[in-house]
Each structure stands twice: as structure tokens, then as C-alpha cells.
Amino acid sequence: MEFPIEKFKALRTPFYYYDTALLDETLQEVKEHLQPNWQVHYAVKACTNPKILRHVVAAGFGADCVSGGEIQASLDAGFPADKIVYSGVGKSDWEIELGLMVGIQCFNVESVPELEVINELAKNHGKIAQVALRINPNVGAHTHENITTGRAENKFGIAWEDTYNVIERCQQLDHIECVGLHFHIGSQILEMDDFATLALRINELQEMLETYGIRLPNVNVGGGLGIDYDNPDAHPIADFKAYFETFRRYLQLRRGQQLHFELGRSIVAQCGTLVGKTLYVKEGSLKKFAIIDAGMTELIRPALYGAVHKIENLTSTESEECVYDVVGPICESSDVFVKDYRMPKTRRGDLIAIRSAGAYGEIMASQYNCRPLPESFTSEGLCCQ
């Protein structure tokens, strides 16, 4: 990725930088693989920056939200309400009411008590709520334990065995219309076999339901496609071809069914970079620390999931390399971006890029230690300043 380093030097660090040309290319790539009865709902939680949402709206995608706040942010960005789907294990009444009032496409429902509350609220407002049942397919995914969601022990979704009973329950509720099945097995998944397994599980479920004469118009397979954190320049765009091909090959849609995807990370991760500056280089008795002015308050993934992002020294002119623990300024021992990391020798004032930070980065920023939230810039914004 090319960075406008001279422009960066005039900005206060740390900040987020988004390459919107790469974002647009990524969105185009996704579109090229879509079939006419397929719809992508961008998982807004990955990055809710309005400058990013604008591009996703322009590409014609819908939105996948997990809170009322995200529904509002999506509407504000211009997503049509009827392309918004709403997931989440713990939807509050006001959030459900917001979804009902603006007329979202679908509630992805995760339990019977939730179904009953949606029915009640829809009744109060004289609405019929369209719902898809989020079924826990009991499929493991080869990813970090904190981001698998599709196993029986996870809190998400309705148990596989209960699917038929819950569909029956929907039929008893006058203000609920069950229009689909929904799944989401986890995040940062790079093994296409995991998606193939999901597709086969869905086939199994659809066959079982057909023995009861049930065929729902929508199937939603969630998101979860991973990206290359080690080599963002070699793979700036996720392997959408293999991903979509897997569903095309293994998932048997019934006639008239629509297939929905909820991709988050794979759309925005590579276009985002967190840029900080080296403050101090400290020689400890065991280690050399590169202390930078960005920390877990701007990017919590390393502390939260043990994630490793590629780090680049954008301004170093040194040919010598050193091994550093690259750490932030926050008063937490877990405020470490990476340990024992080899990179060009750094000194005070160097601009440091933490790559692949477009997803679950800026949106997870906090004000811990009374830090200001990071500013953001885009490639198009900086070119015009």
C-alpha cells in the first residue's frame, strides 16, 4: 500500500487512515461474484465510520446490524431500511421498536423469548415482523476461540434440534412471519472447508424441514471470511472467489430462495491502517521496547484476541533491523501490539503503520486513560486537502 507520508507528517497521531480506492476495488470484486438471487449485507459492526459506510451504500449493499445504534447509523449513511437485517442475542425493546418502525427487512432471532417479545411489540404497533431464525449449526470453525460462534456451547442462536418447534411457534404468533434461516459460525475463517461444512449442515436442515412441508424463502449464511494479516500487500483483497464458489458448490438452494451474506471484516480490514509515532525506544534488561503513541485504546485486537498485525516503519531510512516489543502508552500490561518483532531500526518521531486495521479497529476504540478518540482520514480526503 502506498501511503501519503508527507501528508501524514502534518497530522496529529494516532489516527486511522482508510484507502478508499482499495475499498472500492474490494466492493467491486465482491459484486463480480454475486448471483442474481444473492444479497450482501455489510456487517456494520466491523467499521461504522460514515466515510466508509458511504462507499458501501454506493456499491448497493445492505447492512447487517447488531444494535439499534447500528440501525440508526446505517439509516443515516443511506442504507435503505428494507436492506437492513438485525442480529443479536440481546435485543432491547427500544431497538426492536426502532427496527419495526423503520421497516427493516428482517430480525435474525436468537431465542423463543425474543420471538415472543418481538411479537408483542409488533402487535402494539400494528406491524408484522419478518424474522429469520438464527440456528446454531454446531459447526466449529478454525479460528480464535473468542470468535467462533457456531458451536453448541456458544451463546448464539437457537439449538439445531429445536428448529422445527420454533418455526411452529412462529406460526402461532400473529405478528411474526418466519421468512428464513440464519447462520453465522465465526470470524477470520480461512478454511473454506468450514463454510462447506456449514453449507452441508444447512442442506441437512432444509431436507428435514421439507419432510414437514416447510420451505422458507431466505437463507442467510452470515459472514466470517478471513483476511491475510501477515501479508496485506500480497493479498489486499480477500479470497472472495473461493468463498462464494464454496457456497455455490455445496449449498442447495430451493427454488425461489434468496441467499444472504453478512461480510464484515473481509470488506474493510485491509483498507484501514492505524498510524502512530515512535515516542521512545527503551532498552530493558531483557528486551528492547518501541513505545509508540497508539495503543490498545485505538486498536484492541492484539490485547483482546492475541491478534498480530503487520507493523511498518514508514519513515525509517535505516537499513539495520532490530527486534522490538512494540507497545502502546496505556497503563495495562496487555497494551502490546506485538512481541519480539523484527523491523527497521526505529527512533523517536518515526511514523509507524499498523496494517489491516480497518475492521474491529476504530469502532472498538475507547477513551480509557482519558484519551481522545482517534481521528480518521481517507485517501480521497487527503488528496484533496
Ligand X SMILES: *Cc1c(COP(=O)(O)O)cnc(C)c1O
The contact pattern for ligand X, residues 293-312, with x = CB under 6 A and - = no contact, is --------------------
State the DSSP code for 87: -
Stretch that binds ligand X, among 24-32, 203-211, 263-271, 341-349 (CB under 6 A): 263-271
Cell numbers given for 273 = 491502517
In residues, how long is the chain?
385
Cell numbers given for 28 = 467491486
The smaller minimum CB distance to ligand X, of residues 225 and 363, is found at: 225
Task: Decide: is 62 part of the binding site for ligand X (CB under 6 A).
Answer: no
Alpha carbons 94 and 105: distance in angstroms, whole number: 17
Among positions 238-257, residues that touch ligand X (CB under 6 A) are none
Tracing cell 472472495 back to the chain, one arrives at: 240
Conformation bin of residue 78: beta by default, left when phi > 0, alpha when psi is -120 to 50: left
Strands (E), 192-335: 218-220, 258-261, 272-283, 288-292, 311-313, 321-327
Binder of ligand X out of 97, 262, 325, 335 (CB under 6 A): 262
**What minimum distance in Å lies between the beta carbon of 255 and ligand X?**
26
**What minimum distance in Å lies between the beta carbon of 60 and ligand X?**
18
The contact pattern for ligand X, residues 8-47, with x = CB under 6 A and - = no contact, is -----------------------------------x-xx-
The smaller minimum CB distance to ligand X, of residues 149 and 206, is found at: 149
The smaller minimum CB distance to ligand X, of residues 185 and 291, is found at: 185
Phi first, then psi: what are they for 56, rounded to 5°? -70, -40
Question: Taking Cα atoms as reference points, which of 325, 315, 310 lies closest to residue 348?
Answer: 315
Task: Decide: is 264 part of the binding site for ligand X (CB under 6 A).
Answer: yes
Among positions 187-206, residues that touch ligand X (CB under 6 A) are 187
**What minimum distance in Å lies between the beta carbon of 189 and ligand X?**
7
Question: Taking Cα atoms as reference points, which of 302, 361, 358, 360 lies closest to residue 332?
Answer: 302
The smaller minimum CB distance to ligand X, of residues 47 and 292, is found at: 47
CB 66 within 8 A of CB 90: no
Alpha carbons 195 and 213: distance in angstroms, whole number: 26
**What minimum distance in Å lies between the beta carbon of 188 and ligand X?**
6
Task: Decide: is 371 part of the binding site for ligand X (CB under 6 A).
Answer: no
The smaller minimum CB distance to ligand X, of residues 8 and 16, is found at: 16
Task: Decide: is 184 part of the binding site for ligand X (CB under 6 A).
Answer: yes
In three-state secondary structure terms, 152 is: coil
Alpha carbons 100 and 82: distance in angstroms, whole number: 11
Stretch that binds ligand X, among 2-10, 71-79, 94-102, 223-231 (CB under 6 A): 223-231
Interacting residue ranges for ligand X, rule: CB under 6 A: 43, 45-46, 64, 66, 87, 184, 187, 222-225, 262-266
